Amino acid sequence: MHILMLTPEYPPHVVGGLGRHVAELSHALAELGSRVTVLHGLRRHEAADEVEERGALTVLRARDHAPGPPGFAQEVVQRNVAMLQAVLQRVAAGERFDVVHAHDWLTAHAARAVKHALQIPLIATIHATEMGRNGGLFNEVQRHISDTEWWLAFEAWRVICCSRAMREELVRVFQVPLDKLHVIPNGVAPEPRTASPGEILEARRRYAADSERLIFFVGRLVYEKGVDLLIRALPRVLAAHPQTVLVVAGKGPEREGLEALARDLGVWGRVRFAGHIGDGERNRLYQAADVAVVPSRYEPFGIVALEAMALGAPLVAAGAGGLAEVVEHGRTGLLFRPGDPWSLAEQLIAALDFPALRAALRRHAREAVRERFDWKRVAERTLDVYRSVLYAARAARQDARAGGARLVPVGGPGAQASSAQQRPGG
Ligand code: NHF
């Protein structure tokens, strides 16, 4: 089977969990014997080799050469035209694809065009929704993005999402029929590179004295990730454990506001804004931390929590969305009430108070990650989805040839199921 994977991010240009997901899934699919062509639509400032060939996996990068667009939505469409050009070039060179798999609305335009032009089934993974990310839709751009997400779900024969919480969201927000949806959780690389004890200590000492406790956050500094909740929780944590340092790694539009908040709350001296850090430093800090925190208001899955767990960091996470499915409270991590800094402070204090609890959390988290979150398993389940769709497409073609009444356009709008998908308010 030859899979065409369309993605808005791919290493080295990773923005969040989506890019890691596509990379790990594509590798695992290739290892299972499928041919995978990943097509990554580069953002305008990103530079990368045009083509990478690694066995059954080919990574193509599509670059947008059109004049600079006036706005974000137009930039996305231009990027999709560039992706489409790359697909056309491959097809003109004799390449054939069996299915097209699109990740998020950022690839929707190219995905739909490929589906209809090549008459191959479209599968979409929706990693997050605009409605969820912002807690509502408040302007034209957000409404446009949400409409495009709906359109992608409508056009796809099957929609994959990473948690039961996300499935519920897709039904609620877009009325995606349940029989069109598959929940396939994310995985985490089995043996993340571990640093030597000396390197871990060195990383720790960049931020905290040996006598201090280290709380670690890494992620984009955007509202949905809830870093403000963590800073709001800090005064209470410091009252119980005055020698505590919070490291906030990552960049984003909220940084200035978060710095101001830390100053207003009188905890500026206890927060270290580390900016962007590489994967190596992130892994060292997970291993050096007394506690890692995922305080998200919205998290469809939370690969970041799995990464912390895999590296043995005692984890405190919000019981929001998929995180509540990934973390078992009291066993593989501690959950707090989403959006509530008091509840977050309580769980942080519990983790800092009890070394035996931290040790147990580390141990159980590592075991859970090994047993439940394996990319090979994710790839097998994804292959099952492709196979069932290809089977249905073949049957539809045969019906069409026989002039049967059950005519379904190949890769058509989710077969009969999507006819039940109504546009909200429309
Ligand atoms: O882990 C990969 C990622 C998730 O919760 C994350 C998110 C975007 O918001 O599936 O997608």
Q: What is the mean pLDDT of each run of 10 residues along the chain (426 residues)?
A: 97 90 96 97 83 90 92 96 97 98 98 97 98 96 98 98 98 97 91 81 97 97 96 98 98 97 98 95 96 97 94 96 96 98 98 97 94 94 98 89 61 45 55
- The Å distance, Cα 239 to ligand 1 centre, comes to 34
Which of the four CATH numbers 3.20.20.140, 3.80.10.10, 3.40.50.2000, 3.10.129.10 does domain 2-187+376-418 have?
3.40.50.2000
CA of 93 to the centre of ligand 1 (A): 35
Residue 127 Cα: closest atom of ligand 1: 11
Is the C-beta atom of 373 inside 6 A of ligand 1? no
Q: Which CATH class is domain 197-372?
A: alpha beta
For residue 73, report the distance from its CA to the centre of ligand 1, in Å.
Answer: 21
pLDDT value at position 132?
96
Q: 161 CA distance to ligand 1 centroid (A)?
A: 9
Each domain of the chain, given as residue ranges in start order, spans: 2-187+376-418, 197-372
If you measure from the C-alpha of residue 18 to the centroid of ligand 1, how many angstroms do you get, rounded to a whole number?
6
Ligand 1 binding pocket includes 300 (Cβ within 6 Å): yes
Residue 232, C-beta contacts closer than 8 angstroms, at least 6 positions apart? 261, 265, 341
Strands (DSSP E) contained in 176-288 are 181-183, 213-218, 244-249, 271-275
CA 301 to ligand 1: nearest atom:
5
Q: Distance between CA 211 and CA 334 in Å, rounded?
A: 24
CB 289, CB 216: distance < 8 Å: yes
Asked if the domains at 2-187+376-418 and 197-372 fall in one CATH topology, the answer is yes
pLDDT of residue 193: 63
Rounded Cα distance between 159 and 111, Å, is: 13
Atom of ligand 1 nearest to the CA of 224: 9
Any atom of ligand 1 within 6 Å of the Cβ of 99: no
d(CA 215, CA 128): 27
pLDDT at 415: 43
Please give the Cα distance from 133 to 153 (Å, whole number): 17
CA of 365 to the centre of ligand 1 (A): 19
Cα(323)–Cα(318) distance, integer angstroms: 7
Which phi and psi (to 5°) does residue 316 adopt? -115, 125
Cα 105 to ligand 1 centre (Å): 14
Give how far Cα 197 sits from Cα of 194, 213, 249, 314, Å. 9, 17, 21, 17
Query: What pLDDT does residue 50 have?
Result: 67
Best residue among 303, 304, 309, 382 to mutate for probing ligand 1, ranked by most atoms within 8 Å of CB: 303
Residue 99: strand, helix, or coil: strand
Pairing of strands 158-161, 181-183: parallel
Q: What CA–CA distances, in Å, run from 261 to 10, 192, 230, 232, 295? A: 33, 34, 11, 8, 16
Which of 133, 134, 186, 220 is the pocket-test mutation for ligand 1 (most atoms within 8 Å of CB)?
186
How far away, in angstroms, is 304 Cα from ligand 1 center? 8
pLDDT at position 403 is 78
Q: Does 188 contact ligand 1 (Cβ within 6 A)?
A: no
Q: What is the DSSP letter of 217?
A: E
186 lines ligand 1 (CB under 6 A): yes
pLDDT for res 390: 97
